[in-house]
Amino acid sequence: MGTLKDTLSLYAGVVRRVGYTLTVGLGNAQERNRLLALYQVYAQPTTLEDPTPDDPHILPKTDILELLKNDEAVYEGVNECGFGHTTEFELKVISNLVRMKQPKRIFEIGTFQGRTTLNMALNSPADAQIVTLDLPGSELDNTQMKIAVGEARYVKKDRSGERFLEHPLRSKIQQVFGDSATFDFSPYKASMDLIFIDASHAYEYVLNDTQKALEMIRPGGIILWHDYTNWEGVRNALNELYQKNPSCRNLRHIGGTSIALLQL
């Protein structure tokens, strides 16, 4: 019933805004911008799984226009995506959320090249601090739980965070290293405004990282997960958390992306 209500209100919201935008709104620059944003959402390449009656993605969808107004973020390397990265559109969604919410304390689990880290640094307040945790390549075979098949390529790399290491905003970013299953997150307890979970996609790791994020997030903060529609382990873990963990009942899937979002 909740799902039907969510779906109906999602479509009612879209119809209302599209109707306004295509009539009164066309004369207004701000509304033209919203139209562009709407186009970008629904014109995404269909590499992401499309919903079907048997769609295993049970999280209610949130309308991107409910979250964001215009594309006001700034970017670096937004087109330079590929294996292990967020898509161009996903990076824009995350950057705009950061731009809008202005989080001062951000934690990322899973650095890789640091493309998302850098873009969060570009869009957060000047005095924001971003902590990004990565598994050192040397620890690939020593993780407490099993990482997923196919993930070794993201762990083994010459330089973790190469996108921001020489960047002027480097001072906003603190790199920490370890296995998210054994890393000591206690210094960050209940202090983070925004957390981005994008490390191992194995089911047990997503549950572990979510638990750690729930301990680190402050009331009113936001947790984002990447790859809800791309990795089975992420999907199963988030579906289960949505159904069984009362702290996660507001989990939503951002339409047109693989990102899941929880506003505490």
Ligand X SMILES: C[S@@+](CC[C@H](N)C(=O)[O-])C[C@H]1O[C@@H](n2cnc3c(N)ncnc32)[C@H](O)[C@@H]1O
User: Which chain residues interact with ligand X by CB under 6 A?
Assistant: 84-86, 108, 110-113, 115-116, 133-135, 143, 147, 151, 154-155, 179-180, 198-200, 205
- What sign results for the dihedral spanned by CA atoms 39, 33, 198, 193? negative
Cβ-based nearer residue to ligand X, 85 or 92 = 85
In DSSP terms, which residues pair with 225 in a beta bridge? 197, 260
**Least Å distance between CB 23 and ligand X?**
38
Cβ-based nearer residue to ligand X, 62 or 87 = 87
Q: What are phi and psi of 112, to 5 degrees?
A: 55, -125
The structure tokens listed for 231 are: 């990795």
29-42 and 2-22 helices, crossing angle to 10°: 130
Query: Which residues lie below 8 Å from residue 127, measured CB to CB, with a gap of 6+?
Result: 104
Cβ-based nearer residue to ligand X, 38 or 121 = 121
**Least Å distance between CB 85 and ligand X?**
5
Q: What is the C-alpha to C-alpha distance for residues 34 and 26, in angstroms, rounded to an integer?
A: 10
Strand order in the sheet with 252-254: 61-62, 252-254, 260-263, 217-225, 192-197, 105-109, 129-134, 173-177
**Least Å distance between CB 3 and ligand X?**
29
Q: Which of 73, 25, 57 shows the shortest CA–CA distance to 255?
A: 57
Q: Which residue is nearest to ligand X (CB)?
A: 110
Cβ-based nearer residue to ligand X, 94 or 241 = 94
Q: What is the C-alpha to C-alpha distance for residues 134 and 138, in angstroms, rounded to an integer?
A: 11
Cβ-based nearer residue to ligand X, 59 or 155 = 155
**Least Å distance between CB 13 and ligand X?**
28
In DSSP terms, which residues pair with 197 in a beta bridge? 109, 225
Cβ-based nearer residue to ligand X, 34 or 115 = 115
**Least Å distance between CB 143 and ligand X?**
5
**Least Å distance between CB 238 and ligand X?**
16
Tell me which amino acid residue 176 is: V
**Least Å distance between CB 135 and ligand X?**
4
- Decide if 40 contacts 89 (C-beta within 8 A): yes
Whose structure tokens read 């729930």?
A: 214
Provide the 8-state DSSP code for 253. E
